[in-house]
Amino acid sequence: KRALLVVDIQNDYFPGGLWPLCDMDAAADKAARVLEAARTAGDLVVHIRHEFTTTDAPFFKSESVGAQIHPKAQNLKDESSWC
């Protein structure tokens, strides 16, 4: 069986986030297509996101909206999400 690891498609990397990267919308669109293919094939899907635990974190602040997975790559309720 195959597995897909989806890493760091998090809100802080998008426009308006605390650490925006270039072309994240395009990257998230591609991730969404790969996610759909993996789900259709019945592959295991695991989402990995990062959070800083310190109060002076520059981005991915603990329990913030910015640290959450972006809606384009959101995990389904039966998919694991690791922090």
Query: What are the boundaries of each domain within the chain?
Result: 3-73
What pLDDT shows up at residue 81?
Answer: 85
Confidence of residue 80 (pLDDT cuts 50, 70, 90): confident
Report the pLDDT averaged over residues 7-18: 97
Does 55 score more than 90 pLDDT?
no
Mean predicted confidence (pLDDT) in 23-35: 97
**Tokens representing residue 79 in the block:** 């998919």
Local confidence band at 71 (pLDDT 50, 70, 90 cut-offs) = very high
Closest CA to 9 of 44, 37, 45, 43: 45
pTM metric for this prediction: 0.90
Of the candidate CATH numbers 3.60.21.70, 3.40.50.850, 3.40.1190.10, 3.30.70.1140, the domain formed by 3-73 belongs to: 3.40.50.850
